[in-house]
Amino acid sequence: MIIKEVQCKSILTKSNLPEVEYCINPYIGCTHNCVYCYASFMKRFTGHTDEDWGDFLDVRVNSVEVLKKQITSKKKRGDILIGSVTDSYQPIENKYRLTRQILEVLGGKGFPVSVLTKSDLVVRDIDVLKKIEDCEVGLTITSLGEGISRIFEPGASIPLKRVNALRVLKENGIRTYAFIGPMLPGITQIEEIVKALEGKVDFVMFETLNLNKVNRERTLKAFLKAGVAFSPNSINWGEVEKKARRICGEYGIPVKGFYKH
Ligand code: SF4
């Protein structure tokens, strides 16, 4: 693992995502190292062409100072997503506490904040999350199996810790959601997951698996390793969506989005 401290010029960046005005990513690279990660394309733009995704991490050590300069009273208010291209709760966040300090800066500034992560480290920051007037936290969950998760998301918190994080966040009055995606055919058991989420989330979002030239080979190898036969073109995502919406309806959990690729 190559860890480098770097300086950034901007940390509050304009987003291309629907319904999100800005993104904040205090780290470049991601040691969660999910096989299906789409963000690994970033390597080309950040000087990491020779390193494998998951093997490097740049720590933008001046993120907090830069954010303080960017968040002026004149800055147009809008939704901020923390962790859009890399997870902002890297294990090393325990040491650097950049995400925590960023949340501290955002408190009382009038920007709605959404955090999306695969780490239960987010629970550490409940006290600062509570000080942001419009705030929500999402945990990504693709399965509940620890063994499966070690194959597909080897560096992230195990799924049961993520479910537990949602429970603790919700108990503390924070709006929570589960991002169920990418759905892994033959692995992601929607009903089992939704049942485990009952009472712990305000809504869920789904995303279909998007195989592309960046993640295809690693993802297909992971299916083999997990012993699951998978033929990419045989999935009827329309049927999966119907089933997902029906199950969520049965458990009384709103579906805020179902993103198909
Ligand atoms: S946590 Fe997100 S950014 Fe990190 S490797 Fe996994 S999919 Fe990619």
CA pair distance 196, 111, nearest whole angstrom: 31
Q: What percent of the chain has pLDDT over 70?
A: 98
Please name the fold of domain 2-259: pyruvate-formate lyase- activating enzyme (3.80.30)
Regarding the beta carbon of 35 and ligand 1, being less than 6 Å apart is answered no
pLDDT tens per residue across span 180-198 = 999 999 999 999 999 999 9
Structure tokens at 62: 């001046």
CA pair distance 260, 14, nearest whole angstrom: 23
Regarding the beta carbon of 30 and ligand 1, being less than 6 Å apart is answered yes
Atom 3 of ligand 1, residue of closest alpha carbon: 86
pLDDT of residue 54: 80
CA pair distance 128, 131, nearest whole angstrom: 5
Distances 259 to 6, 119, 205, 237, 241 between C-alpha atoms, Å: 34, 22, 8, 10, 9
CA pair distance 28, 153, nearest whole angstrom: 17
Domain boundaries, the chain: 2-259
pLDDT higher than 90, residue 42:
no
Which carries the bigger pLDDT value, residue 17 or residue 32? 32
pLDDT of residue 55: 85
Regarding the beta carbon of 125 and ligand 1, being less than 6 Å apart is answered no
Q: What percent of the chain has pLDDT over 90?
A: 85
pLDDT of residue 203: 98
pLDDT tens per residue across span 204-244 = 999 999 999 889 999 999 999 999 998 888 899 999 999 99
- Which candidate, 237, 173, 180, places its Cα nearest to that of 203? 180
| Atom number in ligand 1 closest to CA 30 | 4
Task: Show Cβ contacts of residue 230 under 8 Å, excluding neighbours closer than 6 positions.
Answer: 185, 186, 220, 223
Buried b (16+ CB within 10 A) or exposed e, 134-158: ebbbbbbbbbbbeebbebbbebbbb
187 alpha carbon to ligand 1 midpoint, in Å? 18
30 alpha carbon to ligand 1 midpoint, in Å? 6
- Tell me the mean pLDDT in the region 148-157: 97
Confidence of residue 44 (pLDDT cuts 50, 70, 90): low
pTM: 0.95
103 alpha carbon to ligand 1 midpoint, in Å? 20
Structure tokens at 115: 């955090």
46 alpha carbon to ligand 1 midpoint, in Å? 16
Structure tokens at 57: 């991490």
118 alpha carbon to ligand 1 midpoint, in Å? 8
Structure tokens at 55: 């093997």
> Which of 51, 58, 87 maximizes ligand 1 atoms within 8 Å of its Cβ, making it the mutation to test the pocket?
87
Task: Show Cβ contacts of residue 68 under 8 Å, excluding neighbours closer than 6 positions.
Answer: 105
Structure tokens at 144: 């509940």
pLDDT of residue 228: 94
Regarding the beta carbon of 37 and ligand 1, being less than 6 Å apart is answered yes
- Tell me the mean pLDDT in the region 118-126: 98
pLDDT higher than 80, residue 50:
no
pLDDT of residue 38: 84
250 alpha carbon to ligand 1 midpoint, in Å? 30
- Which candidate, 67, 79, 32, places its Cα nearest to that of 175? 79
CA pair distance 37, 83, nearest whole angstrom: 13
pLDDT tens per residue across span 65-79 = 999 999 999 999 999
pLDDT of residue 45: 67
Alpha helices in the chain (DSSP H): 63-70, 93-96, 98-106, 126-129, 146-152, 159-171, 190-197, 216-225, 237-251
Regarding the beta carbon of 116 and ligand 1, being less than 6 Å apart is answered no
